[in-house]
């Protein structure tokens, strides 16, 4: 069963966030959530299949090998997935969970294209009702759990190391936000990409085919399409760098020359080599999630690690 509930209207907030991010006197920024329009979601799906981007395959391996073990820890009733993307990996978990009983699966997505493909991907699963929310993470989570039936427990999935898009302190605030929205005993399955050698890490965000570059530059194209911008894409290049102090990959778009860009009658000037910071992907030590859980109202009761790529799946229980 497919039910769509609500929609978000982001054009005004998109325009405001772009004005704020590009109008700053210091480092220009754009929020990474805007990378995911229809084209961005399709490009991200392509990234997950690139030879250099081992992260998705690593998580798929964990879920394929251990989904029965993982399912034993998870609570039954309702599964809410934050930023489901295409939902390809989720199939393993849902199949193990809904083996004997019916349940509701709620993908929460900012991207309507991702939500539609997720619903299509998982529509054939027996015993599963799908209720998708086109919403921001925590807003969607609270709207989903408002529909839990008496006695239903909630499992939250936050896969793909999407937690790494938050800076470390806001990531913990975000986990606290999840904790406040669910009940003691409910569970959270959290994917975290582990620290690894730069020779492995950098190509994952700067692949030889240029798909990640297209994913990043599409943000400028999106501003042109939706907000009337006049970015010349050929004058910005994709940069993926590792910030060792913060243990994160940063994606930027570097202005290749001094230039002025106009978006709906507002002008923004760029110095040569000035960058727009578009995304962060923080990396974790294996045991970081245990401490993150303790600080945010959870206990990390199990962890499965893919050593081939370096990825951990962490099972948190709300205390
Ligand atoms: C890094 S992708 C991960 C997708 C999938 N979970 C996976 O593991 O492959 C992040 C997903 O979250 C969605 N997303 C990003 N920011 C969001 C937000 N603030 N609220 C809801 N969804 C968001 C994007 O549209 C995208 O599909």
Tens of each residue's pLDDT in the chain, 319 residues: 445 555 565 678 999 999 999 999 999 999 999 999 999 999 999 999 999 999 999 999 999 999 999 999 987 799 999 999 999 999 999 998 877 678 999 999 999 999 999 999 999 998 899 999 999 999 999 999 999 999 899 999 999 999 999 999 999 999 999 999 999 999 999 999 999 999 999 999 999 999 999 999 999 999 999 999 999 999 999 999 999 999 999 999 999 999 999 999 999 999 999 999 999 999 999 999 999 999 999 999 999 999 999 999 999 999 9
Q: 280: CA distance to ligand 1 center in Å?
A: 13
Q: 229: CA distance to ligand 1 center in Å?
A: 25
pLDDT at 11: 79
Distance CA 259, CA 194 (A): 38
What are the residues whose beta carbons fall under 8 Å from the beta carbon of 253, sequence distance 6 or more? 216, 217, 219, 220, 236, 237, 238, 239, 275, 276, 278
Q: Retrieve residue 203's tokens.
A: 């190509």
Pocket perturbation via mutation, ligand 1, pick of 57, 85, 112, 115 by most ligand atoms within 8 A of CB: 85
Alpha carbon of 122 to those of 90, 153, 185: distances in Å?
A: 8, 21, 26
Q: 282: CA distance to ligand 1 center in Å?
A: 15
pLDDT at 23: 97
Q: In the chain, what are the domains?
A: 2-32+198-282 (no CATH), 55-196+285-318 (3.40.50.150)
Distance CA 123, CA 110 (A): 20
Instruction: Give yes or no for a contact between 83 and 158, defined as CB atoms under 8 angstroms apart.
Output: yes
Q: Which atom of ligand 1 is nearest to the CA of 36?
A: 25
Alpha carbon nearest to ligand 1 atom 12, residue: 83
Alpha carbon nearest to ligand 1 atom 7, residue: 160
Read off the pTM.
0.97
Distance CA 235, CA 256 (A): 5
Q: Which atom of ligand 1 is nearest to the CA of 87?
A: 5
pLDDT at 74: 86
Q: 220: CA distance to ligand 1 center in Å?
A: 19
pLDDT at 1: 47
Alpha carbon nearest to ligand 1 atom 4, residue: 85
SS3 category, 54: coil
Beta strands 275-282 and 248-255, pairing class: antiparallel
Alpha carbon nearest to ligand 1 atom 20, residue: 136
Q: 130: CA distance to ligand 1 center in Å?
A: 18
Beta strand spans in the chain (E):
2-5, 28-29, 77-82, 103-109, 128-134, 153-158, 187-193, 236-243, 248-255, 259-263, 266-270, 275-282, 298-306, 311-318
Pocket perturbation via mutation, ligand 1, pick of 10, 53, 83, 90 by most ligand atoms within 8 A of CB: 83
pLDDT at 148: 93
Q: 158: CA distance to ligand 1 center in Å?
A: 9
Q: 213: CA distance to ligand 1 center in Å?
A: 18
């Amino acid at each position: 069963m497919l039910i769509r509930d609500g929609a978000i209207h982001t054009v005004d907030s998109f325009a405001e966030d772009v004005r704020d991010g590009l109008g700053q006197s210091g480092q220009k920024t754009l929020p990474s959530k805007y990378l995911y329009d229809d084209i961005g979601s399709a490009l991200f799906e392509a990234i997950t299949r690139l030879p250099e981007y081992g992260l998705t395959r690593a998580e798929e391996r964990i879920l394929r090998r251990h989904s029965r073990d993982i399912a034993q820890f998870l609570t039954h009733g309702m599964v809410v997935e934050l930023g489901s993307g295409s939902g390809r990996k989720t199939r393993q978990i849902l199949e193990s969970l809904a083996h004997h009983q019916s349940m509701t699966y709620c993908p929460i997505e900012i991207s309507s294209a991702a939500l539609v493909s997720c619903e299509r991907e998982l529509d054939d699963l027996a015993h599963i009702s799908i209720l998708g929310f086109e919403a921001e993470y925590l807003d969607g989570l609270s709207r989903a759990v408002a529909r839990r039936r008496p006695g239903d427990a909630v499992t939250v999935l936050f896969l793909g190391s999407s937690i790494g898009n938050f800076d470390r302190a806001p990531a913990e605030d975000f986990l606290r936000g999840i904790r406040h929205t669910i009940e003691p005993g409910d569970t959270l399955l959290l994917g975290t990409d582990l620290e690894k050698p730069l020779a492995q890490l950098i190509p994952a965000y700067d692949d030889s085919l240029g798909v990640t570059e297209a994913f990043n530059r599409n943000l400028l194209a999106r501003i042109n399409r939706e907000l009337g911008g006049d970015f010349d894409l050929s004058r910005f290049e994709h940069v993926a760098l590792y910030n060792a102090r913060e243990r994160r990959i940063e994606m930027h778009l570097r202005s290749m020359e001094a230039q002025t860009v106009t978006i709906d009658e507002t002008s923004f000037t760029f110095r040569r080599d000035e960058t727009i910071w578009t995304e962060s992907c923080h990396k974790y030590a294996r045991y970081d999630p245990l401490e993150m859980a303790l600080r945010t109202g959870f206990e990390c009761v199990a962890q499965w690690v893919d050593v081939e790529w370096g990825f951990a799946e962490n099972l948190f229980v709300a205390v």
